[in-house]
Amino acid sequence: MLSLLGPREPLCINGDETALRQVLINLAGNAVKFTDAGAVTIMLDTDAAGSVRIQVEDTGPGIPEDKLPFLTQPFFQVEDVYQRRNGGTGLGLSITRILVERMMGKMQIESEIGQGTRVTLTFPRHFPAAAADTVKAA
């Protein structure tokens, strides 16, 4: 179980701490790498269905709509090799998706050219058993 510090209370998910750290490093790394000006924002809350939601948002160049379906294919990169300013292998998002799905999560990527990109992760919320809380508190 992972306990994340939410805006008002800890939000728990079932998962692996190292894997979640890797996921966040990949997503924040992309956001910082591709954004020349503006901001990178990471948000944690719950969505309307009560799932735990993590969003990584940037004000970078955005991704063309027709490329979005391919982003999680291994080695896929939007810019061709001659235009590339940024390094990388094109593996980050494919690994990220596998790790997220292993933690029963979902990853959604929204983007608008010239505006930026937002990656939303949703995980089923885990409620620790009341009994376990009681034992810990004792």
Ligand X SMILES: Nc1ncnc2c1ncn2[C@@H]1O[C@H](COP(=O)(O)OP(=O)(O)OP(=O)(O)O)[C@@H](O)[C@H]1O
- Residue ranges binding Mg ion (CB under 5 A): 30, 92
30 and 52 Cβ atoms separated by less than 8 Å = no
Least CB distance from residue 49 to Mg ion, whole Å? 28
Q: Does 117 bind ligand X (CB under 6 A)?
A: yes
Burial (0-12, 13-18, 19+ Cβ within 10 Å), 123 = buried
> According to the binding rule CB under 6 A, does residue 124 interact with ligand X?
no
- What's the closest the beta carbon of residue 35 comes to ligand X, in angstroms? 7
- Return the number of the residue (34 or 123) whose C-beta is nearest ligand X: 34
Instruction: DSSP letter for 35, please.
Output: -
* Residue 72 C-beta: closest distance to Mg ion, Å: 11
Residue whose CB is less far from ligand X, 50 or 64: 64
- Using CA atoms, how far apart are residues 36 and 47, in angstroms rounded to an integer? 30
Backbone dihedral region of 88: left (phi > 0), alpha (psi from -120 to 50 degrees) or beta?
left
> Measured from the CB of residue 72, what is the shortest distance to ligand X in angstroms?
7
Q: Is 91 in the site for ligand X (CB under 6 A)?
A: yes
Secondary element (H or E) of residue 55: strand 52-58
Alpha helices by DSSP H, the chain? 17-34, 92-102, 130-137
Binding site residues, ligand X, CB under 6 A? 26, 30-31, 34, 58, 60-61, 63, 71, 76-79, 88-94, 117
